[in-house]
Structure 1
Amino acid sequence: MFRPIRTLMLVVVAFLAGLFVERANQRDGCLDRGGAMSEGLCIGVEE
């Protein structure tokens, strides 16, 4: 009984870690181009 719960918890943790890594990558890319992050959006970058 414990194994399916443990597997589900590991999948959730991996998913959340992926979200945090992707958000950090987006923020870094925005800052590298001279923008600023505001509520999850990159503001002030000219294309």
Structure 2
Amino acid sequence: MFGLIRLPFLLAIVFFAGVMYERSEKNKLCDEIGGESRNGLCVMRAVK
């Protein structure tokens, strides 16, 4: 019975950890190509 209660909580934790990891990787990639992350979007910096 305890396993049935624990399973959804563990799945939620793993899901949100995956979302946070993917956001982190996306931000790193955006920085590598010369962009800037704003509100979850990669915005290219203006070239002067």
> How would you bin the TM-score normalised by the shorter chain?
0.7 to 0.9
1:5 offset after TM fit, Å?
1.2
Q: Which runs of 4+ in 1 moved over 6 A?
A: none
Structure 1 unmatched ranges of 5 or more: none
Distance 2:24 2:44 in 1: 18
Distance 1:42 1:6 in 2: 37
- Using the size of structure 2 for normalisation, the TM-score is 0.86
1:3 offset after TM fit, Å?
1.1
What is the identity percentage for the equivalent residue pairs of Structure 1 and Structure 2? Answer: 36
- Using the size of structure 1 for normalisation, the TM-score is 0.88
RMSD: 1.1
